[in-house]
Amino acid sequence: MNKKGLTILEVLISISIVSIVILLLIKVMFSLDNINNDKSYASSDEIKRTEIIKNIESDFLELKLNGININEGEYTTITFKYLNEDKALKVYDDKIIYDNITHTLNSENAAYSKCIEYNYIDLENNYYLITLNIPVLIGNENTTTNDDLTLTYLGLKNENTNYLTSFSCSKK
């Protein structure tokens, strides 16, 4: 055996391995580019949606949520009844207003659905769960629930006085 250089087989194997690694890197780069250009997900509004959810759910706990009322019209109004005050969440196509703060959507082709989803669920041990979901539409379609603005509240039934037990959107 020649100990001074590389054999043709060693050169071919190293070229093959380098080629495979380069192809994998190119595939990863194209995948990352596709994720950044994905128009089916309102990714540029992700932090804003999280802040809205945090603000509303902290009000649920701090101000003691005591009831919910939903009205449809030019925009959907969800009135949260607290022990000492009421606060309205107004859902428009391109924005949400809560506590007099406007949060607009910046993602391309994104819009809020004014047809919200509301559920009241009786649980064991004298508890109930409320979920309120505001879908985010991309091109008039709810392509993924990752975008949706979902609020939850867990409460005791003996405190429950003003909750809807069901709600159906008339715009479906």
What secondary structure does DSSP assign to 104-117, as a single string?
E--STTEEE-SS-E
- Top pLDDT among 116 and 1 is at 116
Residue with tokens 């909750």: 163
Q: What is the pLDDT of residue 70?
A: 92
Binning the chain into helix, strand and coil, the percentages to the nearest 5 are 30, 35, 35
Q: 105 to each of 97, 100, 172, how far by Cα in Å?
A: 11, 16, 22
Residue 110 has pLDDT above 70, yes or no: yes
Contact between 108 and 93 under an 8 Å Cβ cutoff? The reply is no
Average pLDDT over residues 129-139: 88
Question: Do β-strands 136-138 and 101-104 pair in parallel, antiparallel, or remain unpaired?
Answer: unpaired
Mean pLDDT along residues 92-116? 88
Q: Distance of CA 128 to CAs 64, 69, 138, 164, Å?
A: 15, 17, 32, 12
Tokens 């009241």 correspond to what residue? Answer: 120
Q: Per residue in 28-71, pLDDT tens? A: 887 666 555 555 455 667 788 888 889 999 999 898 888 899 99
Q: Which residues on neighbouring strands pair with residue 122, listed in sequence order?
A: 128
pLDDT band at 3 (very low <50, low <70, confident <90, very high): low
